Amino acid sequence: MKARDTIFIGFTLFALFFGAGNLIYPVSLGIESGTSYFPAIFGFVITGVGLPIVTVAAISLVRNGAVQLAGRVHPMFGILFTSMVYLVIGPFFAIPRAANVAFETGIVPFTNGKPLTLFIFTVLFFILVYWLSRNPSKLVDRVGQILTPTLFLAILGLVIGSFFLLDGPIQPAGEKYQAQPFFTGFIEGYLTMDAIASLAFGIIVVSSFRDRGVTDPKTLTTRTLKAGLVTAIGLTTVYVAIGWIGARMATEGSYDNGSAILAGAAQIMYGNIGTLLLGLIVGLACLTTCIGLTVACGQFFSKRVPGLTYKHVTIIVTLISFAISNIGLNQIIAYSVPVLVFVYPITIVLVALTFMSPLFNHSPYVYRGAILLTAVIGVYDGLVAFGADVSAIEPLISQLPLFELNLSWVLPAFIGGVIGLLLDYFKGQPRHKESFQNG
């Protein structure tokens, strides 16, 4: 295996991660955080870049991907949680969101943006997604060697222009970013969905290395981390630059979402050519992400649902994604947030436990205790995000440390893990390594 293969796999991972949320959320953070931009974007990078790369590395440590990772809680939990993750990052949320961002940024500026136009666009978009997803073995060649360099060059053109052609003054931080800009940015990083997407993309990366003859576990993890470093450098650079565009756009008008901010910036900098450039960036970014997610869903469900082939699953995924795409971007974002604030803490705790697992001899009780209490808080946070009435339990939850930072699950996760460790000790089952190796 050549060093350039690692670089190309890193490029592929960058393109798979870099989709709709990676464009619209950093620029929204920039326009809202203003003078608090740098601590806010640093927090965003922690969850938007660091956590996904660490999760991919965690996937390289287990043989059977996310199912085995989550299966350390319980085999049934492994199947159910991972299935939910694939549905969230696949046809229910991430793929339709990506298609809508591509439409609003690349098509709406030149058309009326009516539902019929969205319908026609999504028909063509998902035909292309399905066609490029048919052969997953060519994913690295198509994405890593062709689409990603084109995408990066287009982004570079937009970013360079922003430093010379956008001169709006940086405004004071909005209310959301005044008190704790770092932690607000940290939570905003959830919305990219990349940490949970990495549960799916991780196995694509690991499989790509295995296809190239890397089988030694230590070498596999090292190679995965090197590819992840390539991805991390690319994502961090782009996030900081795109976020800065948002910070410079605060005085240029009011915008409904990140897509509108980027479209306005491109128009100011380059006129109609800028709008075309942005359309190319968004189209490529969303296309590569949708291809990767469709491939991941196809590989996952075809192996676990009897009677369903890879072809069947990819057809189903594209049809469901097409249908949901036509409800509109704002509606998709609104109903995805409650699910994300539930799933993300569980994912973070699972990944943390994976690296710490040797310290507690891989005890399933530690996993179960930590995940159970994390999930309880996650349900509460999800209900709050959904707008449900939680006044009956809010006084209790609000007493938890880090509640104001939306990190109230941290202490319960720790307590649950300690309880699991004590239970494991009193049951007299101090070692579980063999069962996890076979899991």
Neighbours of 272 (CB within 10 A): 11
Question: What is the arithmetic mean of pLDDT over 55-62?
Answer: 83
pLDDT tens-digit series, residues 343-361 = 888 988 998 898 888 888 8
- pLDDT surpasses 50 at 439: no
- pLDDT surpasses 50 at 334: yes
- pLDDT surpasses 70 at 63: yes
- Which pLDDT belongs to residue 435? 46
**298 against 191, higher pLDDT:** 298
Question: What is the arithmetic mean of pLDDT over 289-297?
Answer: 86
- Which pLDDT belongs to residue 152? 72
Q: Identify which of 209, 194, 282, 302 has the alpha carbon closest to the alpha carbon of residue 10.
A: 209
* SS3 (DSSP) at 50: helix
- Which pLDDT belongs to residue 268? 84
Question: What is the arithmetic mean of pLDDT over 295-311?
Answer: 88
- Which pLDDT belongs to residue 138? 63
Q: What does the buried/exposed string (b/e) look like for 218-234 if buried means 16 or more CB atoms within 10 Å of the residue's CB?
A: eebbbbbbebbebbbeb
- Which pLDDT belongs to residue 314? 93
Radius of gyration of the chain (CA): 21
Lowest model confidence (mean pLDDT) among 74-78, 109-113, 144-148: 144-148
Question: What is the arithmetic mean of pLDDT over 54-75?
Answer: 84
The residue assigned the tokens 């060059």 is 153
pLDDT tens-digit series, residues 88-98 = 888 998 899 88
- Which pLDDT belongs to residue 134? 83
Burial of 66 (0-12, 13-18, 19+ CB in 10 A): buried
Question: What is the arithmetic mean of pLDDT over 169-189?
Answer: 87
Q: Identify which of 344, 170, 155, 161 has the alpha carbon closest to the alpha carbon of residue 248.
A: 170
**Residue percentage of the chain with pLDDT more than 70:** 94
Lowest model confidence (mean pLDDT) among 188-192, 354-358, 379-383: 188-192
- Which pLDDT belongs to residue 434? 41
Burial of 341 (0-12, 13-18, 19+ CB in 10 A): buried
- Which pLDDT belongs to residue 145? 62
- Which pLDDT belongs to residue 20? 66
Mean of pLDDT over the chain: 84
Task: Answer whether 274's CB lies under 8 Å from 35's CB.
Answer: no
Question: What is the arithmetic mean of pLDDT over 247-252?
Answer: 82
Q: Identify which of 287, 142, 139 has the alpha carbon closest to the alpha carbon of residue 204.
A: 139
- The dihedral through the CA atoms of 192, 249, 177, 243 has a sign that is positive
Work out the pLDDT band at 242, boundaries 50, 70, 90. confident
Q: Identify which of 265, 241, 230 has the alpha carbon closest to the alpha carbon of residue 251.
A: 265
- pLDDT surpasses 80 at 403: yes
Work out the pLDDT band at 431, boundaries 50, 70, 90. low
Question: What is the arithmetic mean of pLDDT over 2-16?
Answer: 81
- Which pLDDT belongs to residue 411? 93
Work out the pLDDT band at 236, boundaries 50, 70, 90. very high
As given in the structure block, the two tokens for residue 267 are 């128009």
Question: CA-to-CA distance for 141 and 138, rounded, in angstroms?
Answer: 5
- pLDDT surpasses 50 at 237: yes
Measured in degrees and rounded to the nearest 5, phi and psi for residue 125 equal: -60, -45
- Which pLDDT belongs to residue 144? 55
Question: What is the arithmetic mean of pLDDT over 81-86?
Answer: 89
Work out the pLDDT band at 437, boundaries 50, 70, 90. very low
Measured in degrees and rounded to the nearest 5, phi and psi for residue 390 equal: -120, 25
Work out the pLDDT band at 205, boundaries 50, 70, 90. confident
**150 against 228, higher pLDDT:** 228
- Which pLDDT belongs to residue 139? 59
